[in-house]
A and B are shown apart, each in its own frame.
Chain A
Amino acid sequence: MKKLVILGAGTAGTMVASRLSRILDSKDWLITMVDQDPVHYYQPGFLFMPFGVYEKKDVIKPKEEFIPANVRLVMSKIELIEPEHNLVRLADGNLLPYDFLVIATGADIHPEETPGLAEHEWGRSIHTFYSFEGAAKLADHLRTWQGGRLVVNVVENPIKCPVAPLEFLMLADWYFTQRGMRDRVELIYATPLPGAFTKPIAAKMLGEMLEEKRIRVEPEFMIERADPDAKKIISYDEREVEYDLLVSVPLNKGADVVGRSGLGDELNFSPVNKHTFLSDKFDNIFVLGDASNAPASKAGSVAHFAVDLFSENFLRHVEGKEMHALFDGHANCFVESGFGKGVLIDFNYTQEPLPGRYPVPVIGPFSLLQESRINHLGKLAFRWMYWNLLLRGHKVPLPANMSMAGKWKN
């Protein structure tokens, strides 16, 4: 009996378990998952919670619902991974030996890494929507907020869903317009990147959108600290941006246990081959989803496409054959632009987002790099797909690697 242990029952871990439990023979394989939180969060829904589009109940379900019948789920913290001994130590004292290990422990926010953020104003004038609790709290705050200067600040990349901060600002423009208070709200985006859009074609197609929505960009803003009493953020080059409401996207890091176990980089992301997700250090460890250091977007769609190819590869790898399904960094993301519209972007490690028409059987096509109503509907419909198809390991009729079909090259 071979033992496969999957650490983390979030988006990537659950998809891996669902897929592998279908293709591995349960007479030969024992699959065990470990997680410390009984709740599965639909993380893309956090973006909508502050604006009352989704409530708490819309984005949570019990993890148990998605664990395949032939997979055992252990609820525990993970103490340590000992890759030299093919062993996982759990906080409850139990030991889990493995033949193969999948690390899918994700990424989380660390506001305490930036002085001034997670102090007495955290949850008062400083908020985040990058956690379930944070998004719920921000929803409460926005309901009675009287207006002023709202600053969205990304502390440092990489972050989960790199477009979510922009989406938040565009939704904020819509939300405050609807409430008749847009003229009392200033929207500012302070980003460490050289601009809101850094890819030439996206910048050309979408660059004016922010101006039209009166969202001001403060580029190359590397925050050093927040001053919660003076209500301003200060960058390393001593620029100051004042706020009435700071919506922070704090530093994202991989799980502590990855770092503790000697499997992480300086942010606890685990170095892997970006095409196969095989650990750089150990031949029987794969790292999927946000937990790896692959230079792909940290997004559910990337995890989904990666898992599609991983399941083919895994069978070959355990037989000692070369893995030939090589992932290209494909991401496919609906970007909310407010007022019931959205933009679809489809790209990979080397191909920047292009305009065109993205073909999807029956419900498509969706317009690429252009606003449309159907893109917004696609984003909302995605929640159903996530709970009912993706987590349960059903194949979705989208190519795992990026296709140029429908894209306009000039």
Chain B
Amino acid sequence: MATRVIAGKTVQVNDEGFMTDPSEWTKEIAVEYAKEEGIAELTADHWKIIEFCRQSAATSGKAPTLRTITAGTGVSTKELFTLFPKGPAKKVAKISGLGKPEGCV
């Protein structure tokens, strides 16, 4: 498994730079990942989503789907695409340190 140093911390990542151990995540890491994804600043609206995803994954063991996020936060899918342009499910998962959304193959 590869590692990388981000926000001063060494974390385990997969080939595409997604963290593989959610417990290594910090808020500082989220800020750095967000910058890499083209989000210059994480606002309160962003944090609300990120925190929901962290909590959801802590109980379910996987990154939530967009529908889980919209139902759990009251933020519409359209707004999610504004907050995390071009693929919020993948971007939120990356920024929240939750691994890539996957199928079974």
> Which of B24-32, B41-49, B60-68 lies on the face that meets chain A?
B60-68
Q: How many Å lie between the Cα of A236 and that of B86 in the bound state?
A: 9
A90 contacts chain B at the CB level, 8 A cutoff: no
Q: B residues within 8 A CB of A194? A: 87, 90, 100-101
Q: Let me know if B71 is at the binding interface, CB within 8 A.
A: yes
Chain A residues, Cβ within 8 Å of B89: 192, 220, 222
Q: Are A331 and B104 in contact (CB under 8 A)?
A: yes
CA distance A21 to B40 in the complex (A): 61
CB contact list, A298-348 vs B, under 8 A:
331, 333, 335, 345, 347
B62 and chain A: residue at smallest CB distance: A295
The answer on a CB contact under 8 Å between A200 and B15 is yes
Complex contact A156–B67 (CB within 8 A): yes
| Least Cβ–Cβ distance between B7 and chain A, in angstroms | 24
A-contact 0/1 string along B69-105, CB 8 Å cutoff: 0011000011011000111011000000000111111
B105 touches A237 (CB 8 A): no
Contacts of A333 in B (CB 8 A): 104
Q: Known contacts A222-B77, A237-B85; is A266 also within 8 Å of B103 by CB?
A: no
Partner of A266, one of B61, B67, B104: B67
| B104 engages A163 (CB within 8 Å) | yes
Pairwise interchain contact A237-B103, C-beta atoms closer than 8 A: no
Contact across chains for B103 and A193 when beta carbons are under 8 A apart: yes
Q: Is the CB of B104 within 8 A of A237?
A: no
Q: Does A237 contact B101, Cβ atoms closer than 8 Å?
A: no
What total of A-B pairs shows CB separation below 8 Å?
78
Chain A residue nearest in CB terms to B102: A198
Shortest distance in angstroms between A214's beta carbon and chain B's nearest beta carbon? 20
Residues in B with CB closer than 8 Å to A222 are 66, 77, 87, 89
Q: Is the CB of B105 within 8 A of A236?
A: no
Q: Which of A366-390 contact B (CB under 8 A)?
A: none
Contact with B along A205-233 (1 / 0, CB 8 A): 01000000000000010101000000000
A353 within 8 A of B: yes
Residues of A within 8 A of B100 (CB): 194, 198
Closest to B66 in A: A222
Give the Cβ gap from A126 to chain B, nearest Cβ, in Å.
Answer: 21
Q: Size range of the interface on B?
A: 20 to 34
Q: A345 CA to B67 CA in the complex, in Å?
A: 28
Flag if B66 contacts A274 (CB, 8 Å). no
Chain A, 150-163, contact with B by CB distance < 8 Å: what is the 0/1 string? 00000011100011
Distance A44 CA – B89 CA, assembled complex (angstroms):
29
B residues less than 8 Å from A293 (CB atoms): 60
B68 touches A236 (CB 8 A): no
A162 touches B104 (CB 8 A): yes
CA distance A237 to B87 in the complex (A): 8
> Of all chain B residues, which has the CB nearest A349?
B61
Please give me the residue from chain B that is nearest to A159 by CB atom: B103
CB nearest to A197 among chain B residues: B105
- CB of A268, distance to nearest CB on chain B (Å): 11
Say yes or no: B72 contacts A163, CB within 8 Å: no
- Tell me, yes or no, whether A112 is within 8 Å of chain B by CB: no
A202 at the interface (CB under 8 A from B): yes
In the bound complex, do residue A198 and residue B105 qualify as a contact, i.e. CB atoms below 8 Å apart?
yes
CA distance A193 to B105 in the complex (A): 11
B65 neighbours in A (Cβ, 8 Å): 156-158
Task: Collect the chain B residues with CB atoms within 8 Å of residue A266's CB.
Answer: 67-68, 71-72
The residue of chain B having its C-beta at the shortest distance from the C-beta of A154 within the complex is B103
Task: Determine the distance from Cα of A391 to Cα of B54 in the docked complex, in whole angstroms.
Answer: 40
Q: Distance (Å) between the CB of A280 and the closest chain B CB? A: 9
Report yes or no: A274 in contact with B61, Cβ–Cβ below 8 A: yes
Residues of B within 8 A of A143 (CB): none
Encoded as 1 (CB less than 8 Å from any B CB) or 0, chain A from 255 to 288 comes to 0000000000111000000100000000000000
A interface residue numbers (CB < 8 A to B): 156-158, 162-163, 166, 192-194, 197-200, 202, 206, 220, 222, 224, 236-237, 265-267, 274, 293, 295, 297, 331, 333, 335, 345, 347, 353
- Sample of 5 A–B contacts (CB below 8 Å): A162-B103, A194-B100, A199-B104, A345-B104, A347-B104
Extra pairs beyond A156-B65, A197-B105, A199-B103 (5, CB < 8 Å): A224-B77, A224-B78, A236-B78, A266-B67, A295-B60
